[in-house]
Amino acid sequence: MARGPAISAPPAASRGEVEAIVDTLSAELDQVAATLADTIHDHLDELDDDMRTWTLQSTRANLGLIVTLMRAGADPSSAQPPPEAIGYAKEYVVRGLDLVLLQRAYRTAQGVFAGMILARLREATDDPDHLAEAMAFFNAWIFAWIEAIERRLTDVYLSEREQWVRGAAALRAAEVRALLAGTAADSAAVSLRLGYELDRFHVGYVVWSEGAGERPGDAGALFAAMERAAEAIAESLGAGPPLTVAEGRHLACWAGRRERPELARLRLPAGAGRGLSVAAGTPAHGVEGFVLSHREALVARRVAQLRGDAAGARAAYPDLALEALLVEDPEAARRFAARELGPLAAPDDATVRLASTLAIFLDESASFVRAARRLGVHANTVAYRVRRAESLLGHPLGERQLELRVALRLARLLPR
């Protein structure tokens, strides 16, 4: 298909306005990139929060390239995607996202970006002719740039997808997804294809990194670290090599044994690095256990994230079953906590401190001394806070104590 004439420099009459906008964009790259990334995720429901960092990094790199090319007076149709954009396209393949979705992400950003340019041009000039000329230049330039980038990223996506579809990792992932979806017909045959015996006890666990500072091009090193951690965790459970499947920015894992594994033995290896954490489900048997333990591991991970657990966290579902209520039925859990705590559920710092002190006091079998030792304060301080908390509750602590302790645990996860 024949291409139009090269677009490099704006018309002479509006050159000043265009150059001013390019300077403004250069100074606001991070802000503009964040706005575009948020817009993409607001409009494309298929993209989850794990993908947001990749979207932001790709958007920021693309904007930097646009500014560089405009300043150099380069032809946008010759643009090559930056490494972050290439990594972003490959991530769509890894996550099983369609090429059309990637194209929609670019077109969504293009529309919002054009609106931002128009707004800044209106601030920069009162001359309607200059405004029209400058906007026409920007629209033509961005359109040519998008076409060039999309053409090259389509090649990247299709090449990566071909390798992925043919790879053993894709076959393994497809088998596991069929198991999780309940569509695998013959568990014995699946066991042979996976090289992982299903007729035994399983611990499903998830290894992940919040990875806020990870670059897309560094994904290979991140997953290599996750794989090493997964093997060490399986060994700590007395199991052989684990079954692993990459899912976005986490690694889904299973460790199997003939005897029921002891979840208390699970350990994240010392020096795992890269900010890794692990969440595990309850050990369970057979295909049903394989599925259940994995689902519980995902819930345990979500609870750990809601609590703000630091890197290196070890979250086990049996220890978090009450908190899991918030993840699986958030509205019911919020209503329960609000009903039981009353004014003690208020989000201000002073009330949160009272609730936290009361929870520790009850955990320490209503001992002021032990609670004070955990909190690092005087026992009289604990006694004062407990009396204040009791007054907010409106009933003695001995009444509905089980419900009170559950509500206090759930309140830790409620948004402040």
Q: Does any domain span residue 287?
A: yes
Residue 162 has pLDDT above 70, yes or no: yes
Last residue of a domain, one of 306, 321, 336: 321
Contact 121, 135 (CB under 8 A): yes
pLDDT attached to residue 292: 95
Q: What is the CATH number of the domain that holds 272?
A: 3.30.70
Bridging pattern class, strands 250-257 and 243-247:
antiparallel
Residue 184 has phi, psi (to 5 degrees) of -75, 125
Range of lowest pLDDT (97-101, 259-263, 277-281, 406-410): 406-410
Residues 135-161 have pLDDT tens digits of 888 888 889 999 999 999 999 999 988
Residues 294 and 337 in one domain: no
Q: Is 253 helix (H, G, I), strand (E, B) or coil?
A: strand
Among residues 302, 321, 340, the one where a domain terminates is: 321
User: Does one domain contain both 34 and 153?
Assistant: yes
pLDDT of residue 272: 63
* List of long-range contacts for 161-170, beta carbons under 8 Å, 24+ apart: 161/93, 161/99, 164/93, 164/94, 169/245, 169/246
Query: Cβ distance 392 to 355 under 8 Å?
Result: no
Question: What average pLDDT score do residues 331-336 get?
Answer: 81
What's the pLDDT at 169?
Answer: 78
Q: What is the token pair recorded at 267?
A: 């350990």
**Does 131 score more than 80 pLDDT?**
no
Q: Are residues 268 and 354 in the same domain?
A: no
pLDDT given at position 7: 60
Give the residue among 178, 110, 183, 117 at the shortest CA–CA distance from 150.
Answer: 110
341 φ, ψ to 5°?
-90, -25
Residue with tokens 């604990």: 382
* pLDDT tens digits along 395-416: 888 888 888 988 888 887 765 5
Q: Give 169-206 pLDDT, tens digit per residue.
A: 788 888 998 999 888 778 889 999 899 999 999 999 99
Query: Where among 146, 166, 186 does a domain terminate?
Result: 166
Burial of 353 (0-12, 13-18, 19+ CB in 10 A): middle
Examine the domain organization and report whether 110 and 233 are in the same domain: no
In a domain, 283, yes or no: yes
- Model confidence, pTM: 0.55
- Do residues 307 and 352 both lie within one domain? no
Is 111 in the same domain as 255? no
What is the per-residue pLDDT for 353? 92
- The pLDDT, as a whole number, for residue 218 is 63
Read off the pLDDT band of 3 (50, 70, 90): very low
Please tell me the total count of domains within the chain: 3
Q: Is residue 48 in some structural domain? A: yes
Contacts of 171 (CB under 8 A, 6+ apart): 193
Nearest of 353, 365, 355 to residue 404 by alpha carbon: 355
Pairing of strands 314-316, 276-280: parallel
- Of 5-14, 215-224, 382-391, the one with minimum mean pLDDT is 5-14
In tens, the pLDDT along 364-397 reads 989 999 999 999 999 999 999 999 999 999 888 8
Same domain, 140 and 252: no
Structural domain contains residue 217: yes
55/51 Cα distance (integer angstroms): 6
Distance CA 79, CA 70 (A): 11
With cut-offs at 50, 70 and 90, classify the pLDDT of residue 213.
Answer: very low
Q: Is residue 62 part of a domain?
A: yes
Pairing of strands 314-316, 243-247: unpaired
pLDDT the model gives residue 9 = 58
Indicate whether 290 and 395 sit together in one domain: no
Q: Which of 98-107, 211-220, 226-235 has the lowest mean pLDDT?
A: 211-220
CA 61 → CA 33, 37, 152, 370, distances in Å? 9, 12, 16, 54
Residue 219: the pLDDT is 65
Range of the domain at 277: 200-321
In-domain check, residue 370: yes
Is position 195 within any domain? no
Sequence-distant (≥ 6) Cβ neighbours of residue 193 within 8 angstroms: 171, 175
Helix axes 349-363, 368-375, angle to 10 degrees: 130
Look at residue 12 and tell me whether its pLDDT is greater than 70. Answer: no
Percentage of the chain lying above the pLDDT 90 cut: 45
Query: According to the model, what pLDDT value does residue 296 have?
Result: 94
At 381, the amino acid letter reads T
Cβ atoms within 10 Å of 188's Cβ, excluding its own: 9
- 211 in the same domain as 161: no
Query: 309 and 340 share a domain?
Result: no
Mean pLDDT in residue range 234-245: 94
Question: 128-164 burial string, b = 16+ CB within 10 Å, else e?
Answer: eebbebbbebbeebbbbbbebbbebbeebbeebbeee
Q: Are residues 26 and 144 in the same domain?
A: yes
Residue 64 and residue 130 in one domain? yes
Determine contact, residues 77/144, Cβ cutoff 8 Å: yes
Average pLDDT along the chain: 86
Amino acid symbol at 64: G
Residue-wise pLDDT for 58-93, tens only, equals: 999 999 999 888 888 888 888 999 999 999 999 998
pLDDT, residue 334, reads 82
**What is the mean pLDDT of the segment spanning 253-282?**
88
